[in-house]
Structure 1
Amino acid sequence: MRVLFVCLGNICRSPMAEAVLRMKVNKAGLSGKIAVDSAGTGSWHIGDPPHRGTQKQLAAAAIPFDQMKARQINASDFQRFDRIIAMDRNNERDLIQMTDARNRAKVSRFMTLLHDQPHPDVPDPYYTGRFDEVYELIDRGTDQLIKELARQIR
């Protein structure tokens, strides 16, 4: 099973989700069965490490993020990944426009994992500065996601 998280620039939300889920996959003993990556729909930050705010949240939780570099999603990602999870509605819309009908079912929005949240989007901390809020949402959402993935592969 291969999971790809996608946000706008791939330096805040999607690399945070990648690092958190990767840690949970390892803890669950599923690292050989679940691969995790992230990408952005935009090209502004290609090759950059995660944002300092993302790094701070991940470091505080003792979650490794070294070696992570921003990249832009490409057409082959729609073939390589089983689940492509957008961090907000704008990126979800962009992903759906980028692919064909056969691969649209792979695209979902992160906040659909959290049924108790009234907001449809993970807020972008690049603009809000609320990396702690984003971490909390990602931590809870990836708890749900790892349960779903474990059921699917067992």
Structure 2
Amino acid sequence: MSQTDSSSTAEQKPNKVLALYHKTRRYPFGQKLFSIMVSRMAPYFGTIKPLITELRLNHCACLIKKRHAVHNHIKTVHVIAICNGLEMAMGVMAEASIPKHLRWIPKGMSLDYTAKAGSDILCIAEVTPEQWTPGDMLVPVTAYDAQGVVVVKGHIKLWISEKPQK
């Protein structure tokens, strides 16, 4: 089977995370239900009340609503809340996209704060299929305000390794 054949097969048969996302999307408030389920697996994410708005292979978008609980002292969305949203987008994307023989763990984060975050924030994590190889992997992450202005940009470094043989 060629690499093209195997990648199209992966798109036809989603892993458990993608399958759960597609299943919950069929219900009213399905995105919210999926987001709550993910937040229960990693409870700290619940502090930002994230909403996964889009999930497909190698791409995830997570919305953080601007509300009092995520404000900083100047009443914009606190950058640490945005970091949480970016990490959630990356983690959900990674779980939904990583080839079955690999595993991942975060190793670091490097971000630039480029503008005030005075509205709801959309956090995006996206990679290419070719990036899924053992070793360090840089996942580009970007946070946008409601007007499409980049408020945070950078990458999250993952360590990708082979799963141990069973």
Whether TM exceeds 0.5 here: the answer is: no
TM-score (ref. length: structure 2)? 0.25
- TM-score with structure 1 setting the length: 0.26
Q: Which has the higher helix share?
A: 1
The structure with the largest alpha-carbon Rg is 2
